[in-house]
Amino acid sequence: MKSNKTLKTLGNLDLGVSCVLMVALVALTFVGVLKRYIMHSPITWLEEVQMLLFLWIVFLGGAGAFRAGSHIAIEIVVDALPKKIGGVIERFDVVIQLLILVYLFWQEIQYYNQLIVAGRVTNLLRLPYGVAYAVVPVGGALMLISMLYAAYAQYLKKPGEEKETL
């Protein structure tokens, strides 16, 4: 039982990190607005940090959205069809999502390799792009794993098995 709770915690680690980063983004933005408009002394590096935080939030949160089935879906056509045909279309949709995510993951790896080879650093913080954009391939892999997990939980488990979400 304890290992199951540990597994759930690890499975949702991306959402936890994403939430912490979102709180940091909101706090930094608030402080930045106060510094700019009240103290007339803007924080020069703030925009760069905001961009990086937003990037990490999107890629880590995207994986959690796949697990929870929270991505935008227009289901009116599938719901109007008979159950068997709707089920076939939903399974076909999973295959299309899988192919798209595999393609995007491949492109993310190529992009990340270019960043590493170039050896560039960010303008103000002098942070290597390889570190700043490490979330791109990691987030892509997490999205792929989360989508496969959600598809397994929805379609492949036997009817008697308990459907469990992370």
Tell whether the model's pLDDT for residue 160 goes beyond 70.
Answer: no
Tell whether the model's pLDDT for residue 102 goes beyond 60.
Answer: yes
Q: What residues have CB less than 8 Å from 26, skipping those under 6 apart?
A: none
pLDDT per position as a tens digit, 22-68 = 999 999 999 999 999 999 999 999 999 999 999 999 999 998 888 88
Tell whether the model's pLDDT for residue 151 goes beyond 90.
Answer: no
Amino acid symbol at 24:
A
Instruction: State the pLDDT at residue 7.
Output: 64
- Tell me the pLDDT band of 165, cut-offs 50, 70 and 90: low
Q: Residues of the chain with pLDDT > 90: what percent?
A: 57
- Which contacts qualify for 45-48: CB closer than 8 Å, 24 or more apart? 45/124, 45/125, 48/122, 48/123, 48/124, 48/125
Three-state DSSP state, 121:
strand
Instruction: State the pLDDT at residue 71.
Output: 75
| Total-model pTM | 0.81
Instruction: State the pLDDT at residue 70.
Output: 77
Instruction: State the pLDDT at residue 104.
Output: 95
The closest of 51, 48, 56, 49 to 21, measured between CA atoms, is 56
